[in-house]
Amino acid sequence: MNFKNTIKGDFTGGLTAAIIALPMALAFGLQCNPDHPEIGLYTAIFLAIIASIVAGTKTLISDPTGPMTIIAAGVIASAGGAESGLATIIVSFALAGIFQILFGIIKVAQYVKYISYPVLSGFMGGIGIIIILFQWNSFFGDPPRKEIFDILGHLPDPIIHHHWSAIILGISTLGLIYIIPLISKKLPAGLIALVVGTIISFFLDPNWGKDWEFETIGYIPNNLPTFKMEIFNFDWSNLSIAIVSGLTLAGLGTIDTLLTSVVADNLTKTKHNGNRELIGQGLGNFITALFGGIPGAGSTTGTVANINSNGTTNLSGIFKGIFLLIVLLGLGQFLDVVPKPVLSALLISVGIGIIDFKGMKRLLSLKNSDSLVLLLVISLTIFANLLVAVGVGMVLSSFFFMQRMGEIVDQQSKQGNISDMEKKLKIPESIKDRIFEYELDGPLFYGFSDQFKEQAEAIVGKDAVIINMSSVPYIDASGIYVLEEVIQHFKHKKIEVVLVGVKDHIFKQFEELKVIPKTLPEEKAYNSVRSGLKYLKYQLENPS
């Protein structure tokens, strides 16, 4: 690809992404630390540039994101605040970056696809609800509350003790965010809403009374952040807390980023390198943490805007970071007049956008195990934490999947007298009623092993059994163990047993684990039913 042909598109793509990122970065920074909203800008600058240099996904734009901000804000609160717990916060955020680098090295990217849709939809819905709840008070001009139960317990209070200025600013901002795209999707709705909301605030006079007072984000330094020496004051007794927080952030950042990479692939018809991207994200989050920023991830909004503005290479992400750096150094001192209710409205729109309304409606209408997983993950995300929510959701999804697979294999597996096969095979009258055929259809795994054992042990009045495994693509340790038990059961009952249709890779497993020849001699394992029948005919007609 010619550099001269792409740089113009990368320039416009980076500029568009920067315009979109500016208000969101300030809003997410404010949510983590009301006294220093610029930390969101630091992330939008450092993470974007570093991740784009490594570039596992060429068009990906990295920013603070809603899900990452919620977890980061929780880490800051649990550490005792941004001032007293700064060392623990920095180490937690830095560890998140290190863990992401490790995830990339051990190639975790390939496993994210195994997270079920109800789990993804549930935790995104839970995060969206959390974002809205945490901005509820600020939207109405009340001091923010830090605990979910505290917010829910006093949900009507901000409405009762409303501030007209905050309501006007919040509703105006939300209105613009949703109206502007109806006029033109090319217009940066977030930035326009930020600017217009700030202008409206100039005409709202706090002298009109207490109900008209509102807060602004305050002073923002217009210089580069410095290395946070506080990291060297870390209390090692807090290491376990930092590790758990780092793992949670790394896990969420991994999912958030790789999903955005898939979106970029679909739009550009390219293929991303997920593990390389994780290394870039990890390095970016590690360095960002050392300079006081918050963790971030791949941003779907910024990435789509970049691609739609003709960004095609990793230069677009680098340009985006440089543009925001110029804004910070040149305009930082003028951003202090932005009202907090305006940023709260921006965050509420993000929370609404994160919630998967369409998917959740569809899943709930099913009224099955997927609906249960969805509701449980939403609840755990809101009232416990994301790591627990995803962990429990994945375990339950796996359990329900295995249960369903076991039922399907049970339904599809056929059993009966060998006489059922007479149309296909010429079977001697002398043996056809003495042989029982059990045809397995599907994987023989722990979700079906108990049913298989019960059905096999229920076979009576036969002199031989054929276990047909030609439709078994996979067998796990539980399946192998129960198969051995079944064979031993038949031996004890003096029933001849043969295996037929065993696939090569499964036969190799049997050899490695000594199932063959220790439990079943090799001469009793055949490629076809016909061969197995030939052996049984000889054995039954010529008893020793």
Residue 412 pLDDT: 57
Enumerate the β-bridge partners of residue 253.
none
Tokens of residue 329, six digits: 């150094």
Could you read off the pLDDT of 402-445 as tens digits, one per residue? Answer: 777 666 666 655 555 554 554 455 566 667 678 787 888 888 87
Enumerate the β-bridge partners of residue 63.
297
Residue 387: which of 70, 98, 33, 111 has the closest Cα?
70
Whole-angstrom CA distances from 371 to 117, 118, 119, 396, 497 are: 11, 7, 10, 11, 44
Read off the pLDDT band of 1 (50, 70, 90): low
Q: CA–CA separation, 540 vs 488, rounded Å? A: 19
Residue 316 pLDDT: 94
Tokens of residue 115, six digits: 């997270």
Q: CA–CA separation, 18 vs 132, rounded Å? A: 24
More confident residue, 86 or 452: 86
Residue 411 pLDDT: 61
Mean pLDDT of 276-284: 96
More confident residue, 101 or 507: 101
Read off the pLDDT band of 358 (50, 70, 90): confident
Tell me whether the omega of the peptide bond preceding residue 517 falls within 30 degrees of 0, making it cis: yes
Chain centroid offset of residue 300 CA: 14
Q: Where are the alpha helices (DSSP H) in 291-385?
A: 300-308, 315-331, 340-354, 357-366, 369-383
Residue 173 three-state SS? helix
For the CA atoms of the chain, what is the radius of gyration?
A: 31
Residue 386 has pLDDT above 80, yes or no: no
Q: Are 528 and 501 in contact (CB under 8 A)?
A: yes
249-273: burial string, b at 16+ Cβ within 10 Å, e else: bbbbbbbbbbbbbbbbeeebeeebb
Mean pLDDT of 15-39: 89
Residue 414 pLDDT: 56
Residue 3 pLDDT: 63
Mean pLDDT of 312-340: 89
Q: Are 43 and 63 in contact (CB under 8 A)?
A: yes
Residue 374 pLDDT: 92
**Average pLDDT for the chain:** 85
Q: CA–CA separation, 446 vs 450, rounded Å? A: 8
More confident residue, 86 or 431: 86
Could you read off the pLDDT of 133-171 as tens digits, one per residue? Answer: 988 998 988 888 878 889 999 999 888 877 889 999 999
Mean pLDDT of 169-190: 91
Read off the pLDDT band of 262 (50, 70, 90): confident
Residue 417 pLDDT: 52
Flag whether the pTM goes above 0.95. Answer: no
